[in-house]
Amino acid sequence: MPDNNSAERAMRSVAIGRKNYLFVESQTGGRAAAIACTLVETAKLKGIDPQTSLADTLARIPDYKINRVDDLLPWKTAQ
């Protein structure tokens, strides 16, 4: 019998964070939160540890050229 347990597990973090999203306070803050959540969830889907990836990315930002910023995405560095 098919189930959707994996889909429900993936959405759990959204449901848990729903109350916290009420305190974003601005459209810019909401956009930043959406970008952060997207990066974290995409890294998870690609089998990459989001915390390690974020730490690596933040460490490399100061020396990176702005026109190569897409190279900092976690799935680009894992290849």
- Overall average pLDDT of the 11-33 stretch: 77
Q: Report the C-alpha gap between 48 and 2 in whole angstroms.
A: 27
Confidence of residue 79 (pLDDT cuts 50, 70, 90): very low
pLDDT value of residue 1:
62
Say which DSSP state 24 is in.
Answer: -
pTM given for the model: 0.59
pLDDT digits (tens, 9 = 90+) for 54-72: 888 888 888 888 788 777 7
Residue indicated by tokens 């890294």? 43
Rounded to the nearest 10 degrees, the angle between the axes of helix 50-60 and helix 27-45 is 120
Other Cβ atoms within 10 Å of 43 Cβ, number: 20
